[in-house]
Amino acid sequence: MNKFFKTVLLTALFAGTTDIVSAFISVYIQSGKFPEKMFNYIAGGALGLPAAINGGTAAGFLGLFFQYFIAFSFTLFFFMIFPKLKFLSFNKYLVGMLYAVFVNVVMGELILRLTPLPRSPFSLAEEFIGWVAFGLVFGIPIVYNTYKYYEVE
């Protein structure tokens, strides 16, 4: 396995895992219950929510696949655009936070709008907290490993 693909894959696995763990923790804090149908909900973007929630383990595995496919796609995208856009080597932490906001907006305003999943009401305070958390668990790890791979300080 070549170094580029291995780095992207491991970075995506890490970012996808920390993202889903933070989602589980967030839902647990908000509801007091373990979100046992989280992956089924993710699969609801393709299957429709009722079919996914009632789809059992198979739908859960489909949601798990989507979780990591999306993480891999956004990781690969950043690794590919990084050498072409010199301004991205400004500050890995700031760029990581901004990349997380970009990913969050693309997912919320483009990808999720194409799915049958219900939309949540917009709350700037909740969005800001979500962006910070997502930046810490998703954006910064991707950007940090990209800087490391391309040997940028």
Residue 121: pLDDT band by 50, 70, 90 thresholds?
Answer: confident
Q: What local confidence, expressed as pLDDT, does residue 5 receive?
A: 97
Q: What local confidence, expressed as pLDDT, does residue 144 receive?
A: 98
- Is the confidence at residue 1, as pLDDT, over 80? no
Q: What local confidence, expressed as pLDDT, does residue 124 receive?
A: 85
In sequence order, the 6+-apart residues with CB closer than 8 A to the CB of 79 are: 4, 7, 8, 11, 146, 149
Give me the residue spans of the domains in the chain. 3-149
What torsion, rounded to 10 degrees, do the Cα atoms 40, 130, 132, 124 define? Answer: 160
Measured distance CA(38)–CA(78) in Å, rounded: 26
In sequence order, the 6+-apart residues with CB closer than 8 A to the CB of 103 are: 74, 134, 138, 139
Q: What is the mean pLDDT of residues 19-37?
A: 94
Q: What average pLDDT does the chain have?
A: 95
Residue 119: pLDDT band by 50, 70, 90 thresholds?
Answer: confident
pLDDT tens figures, 41-98: 999 999 999 999 999 999 999 999 999 999 999 999 999 999 999 999 999 999 999 9
